[in-house]
A and B are shown apart, each in its own frame.
Chain A
Amino acid sequence: MQRLAIPLALCVLCAGCGGSDAPKAKTKTLLIAVNAPFSRTPYLGQTIANGAELAATAITTKDGEYRLRFKRYDTGLSAGEAVANVRRAVADGAVAIIDEGTGLNASWRIAADADVPICVTYQGGEGLVDPTKRPNVFRIAPTDHGTAFRLAEYLVPKKLKIALVIDDSTYGQEGLKSLRRSFAENPEAVAMRLSVPAGAANLAPEVLRARRSHATALLVWGEPGTIAGVVSAARASGWKVPVYTPATGGDPLVRQQLANHPDWVDGLTFATGRPTAEVGPGPFLSFQRLYEERFGVYLVGVKTPDGADVVQPPDLAMYSYDFVNVLSAAIQRAGGVKDGKKVIAALNQVSVPGANGDHRGFNERNHEGVVDDDVYFARFEGMTYQPVKDDPLSRNLTALDQTR
């Protein structure tokens, strides 16, 4: 009997080692890299990353189930670092990269060689996205081209003489290219074009030059600090012309820098991607609720005239959120991530409901997820902003609650 004990024991063990009949779920992890300037502009970097992380976290395809994991790579607003990060992300096995846009002119190739799609969710510069030459590059963000043309479309009929004030940051210089084109057919609308140093403390001399050109409006295209500086210089000298800006006008920094003069902010009008759509504010409000439950409310640090705290809606976070959802749909359509080219091709074929209720998707001719038309105008009043009423698209939109 004892002689049989060991073989018997082995048999029992082997029997116990048999697999179960139920198929094991194959859950794999997919890495999505977020390449943004976390250290230099934390608000921007955090918002992009938060939006991405809020989106779908699991995808089911015929290849199995995938969980999404996000990794942050800090560019420090350096093109070289951004490129190096993309290399690292590819080496880490990222299946997609969400990018602020710095250094994209070099980094897209690295991702393309590895069949990894890159989606730009902030910079709107022309030339960054080209479906023919850069088939793996996509963008979900208002384009400079769209913003500039909408600004021209909005401002030219007002018969204003506009002083274009552009700073020498990358954002400003890219915007200048688009502004040149958009105002090319209406040169009489431009009183003068002025370049100012980004980050300059005192812009009074430049604003004085603009005033002397008999401009009746200012269009300031630059970083938030530049916008605050121009507004400050104009209002301090008693020049009460309307000021128009691209999306950076809505950045909290502008209001923070003008906190001591809330009346100077009144009337500032900026053009940006719309957070709500014709279907109503419902989708965005749901998105906002989800965002704030997870990441908290972003207090701008200023108050309305009634004393309520002003909060910044997470409109910037929409774009990375939408991209992750589009990517998930594309991965499902492609049947998995084994073939990066298939995923990139599938990105051209899918649409998903966006955070703001718009359809989000790309196609073979156009890798812009925010169409040029989808730019609306918002005007500040009492440190909060509302859609303007004198623009057909804007007046259709609902104002968002920006107080707590």
Chain B
Amino acid sequence: MAAATVEICESNGAGEDVSHDVANLNMGSSEETELDPVANPIVPGDNSFEKWVRFHVTDIGTSSLIDNLKVWGEALAAEAALKTNARTAGYEGAQAYDTVNGPLDTDRSATYKYSQAMPTSEPASANLGIGGALAGGLDDAGYSDYLVMQIQTTVSAVAGNATTLSFQYDETA
């Protein structure tokens, strides 16, 4: 029996370059993968550039299903919030990547449905969809819906926020 192989991918630029298996999802004032947050800080009161991320099954092995995707992270310090489209109820479906502008640092949460606070503990059920639905699954190589995220700050925000994001999936042999 061979289990599935998975990775996290990030999309960037209007042309949507896809960086596979990224080492981190550092967010800041630059639209790039694995950015240096010290060199690219978010000015208090501003937003980070959006992150557009997908869970990618590169090979399903001998398994039959990947589903129940969950994502969560430790809370950021006060005056900064990690917003996302991930949610366990009222999921708004798969968001379409902006191939005109790419990710931006303006608040487009109303358009791309990332109005939710990132959960700070494991959700009770899936909060990121596959094929536009939380009940969706992959029975072969493929991608989840986009996880869209943005850090939004107030003018009182201080430097140095860090959180560990956790991704979890279930696999049926």
A and B: bona fide binding partners:
no
Contact residues of B with A, CB < 8 Å?
A: none
